[in-house]
Amino acid sequence: RDKNKESYAEMWHRWIYEDYYRTYMLPLEKYGIKVHHDDVQAAWERITKKNYVHKVGQFFAVGWPVNFWRIEAQTDKDFEWFEHKYPGWYAEFGDFWKWYAKLSHKGEKVLLFNSDVGYVYPHRCWSCLVPCLIREDMVVGEIDGQLHTFAHELDKWTATVAFADEYQGRPTPAMGRFSGKREWETLYDGWDLADAIKDLNFVRSDGKTLVPQPHMRFDDKEMWTLDDVRGNKLGSPLNALRAMSPAEREKHLADYAKGFTITPCN
């Protein structure tokens, strides 16, 4: 956590804005290529104003049982670094990481299913398959009579217009079609978390210890096992949305756009 080293945002500005955008994209305009300058600015603001990358880190931490790696909690030193690089970071994310540290100990209730925390699991984008973490941008669209969620209007346009069966009278190539089983949550809807982890083959050779762990402590007594996560049922936000009445759906989407507040962790 060297404060003299670049953060993700600083590197993005140097690599994408200064190098790619200003050095490569802008000169293309003289050849008649239209450059969408507003999109570049919007991408920058997703990082600096909407905290997208920090929400991604938060999301992966919440889903630690179904990832193939170990995620350590942030420390006071990390808090100081993030606040230095991203002023205001601690107010939004500090308590979450305190909860993560508190719930990383074997025997605690899995963070994803712990209502005390206040985290609300996100919907997933049917186009890009990443979670809809900038919640006010999420939209819903219909494809072949089925509702789908999208991270942004552009994602919705991609799936419903550009990659529909036809675009401007021309058939869409197979490589551009959104088909098959695309959402992880839908595949495991209704499964017990322990059974899903076994199905993913994320269990060590002893048949019980999880490959993913919510910490970097290497004492065997600290390692979470299938028994520690069993009894938690996974659910698909998309299936739940489809099952709602129109009034329920409207309220749910309005609440989703407002986001959530993490409960103070004492």
Tokens standing for residue 92:
């939004």
pLDDT digits (tens, 9 = 90+) for 118-148: 999 999 999 999 999 999 999 999 988 999 9
Q: Which of 43, 178, 70 is nearest to 124 (CA)?
A: 178
pTM confidence score: 0.92
Residue 3 has pLDDT above 80, yes or no: yes
Maximum C-alpha span of the chain: 64
Residue 174 has pLDDT above 70, yes or no: no
pLDDT band at 199 (very low <50, low <70, confident <90, very high): very high
- Please give the mean pLDDT across all residues of the chain: 94
Residue pair 256/238 in contact by the 8 Å Cβ criterion: no
pLDDT band at 156 (very low <50, low <70, confident <90, very high): very high
Residue 23 has pLDDT above 70, yes or no: yes
pLDDT digits (tens, 9 = 90+) for 76-132: 999 999 999 999 999 999 999 999 999 999 999 999 999 999 999 999 999 999 999
How many other C-beta atoms are found inside a 10 Å radius of the C-beta of residue 45? 11
Residue pair 111/117 in contact by the 8 Å Cβ criterion: yes
Tokens standing for residue 243:
């099952």
Mean of the pLDDT values across residues 215-243? 97
pLDDT digits (tens, 9 = 90+) for 28-65: 999 999 999 999 999 999 999 999 999 999 999 999 99
Tokens standing for residue 69:
């790696």
| Separation between Cα atoms, residue 166 and residue 160, nearest integer Å | 10
Residue 89 CB-density burial (10 A; 0-12 exposed, 13-18 middle, 19+ buried): middle
Measured between alpha carbons, how far is residue 88 from residues 54, 57, 79, 80, 118 in Å?
A: 12, 16, 11, 11, 19
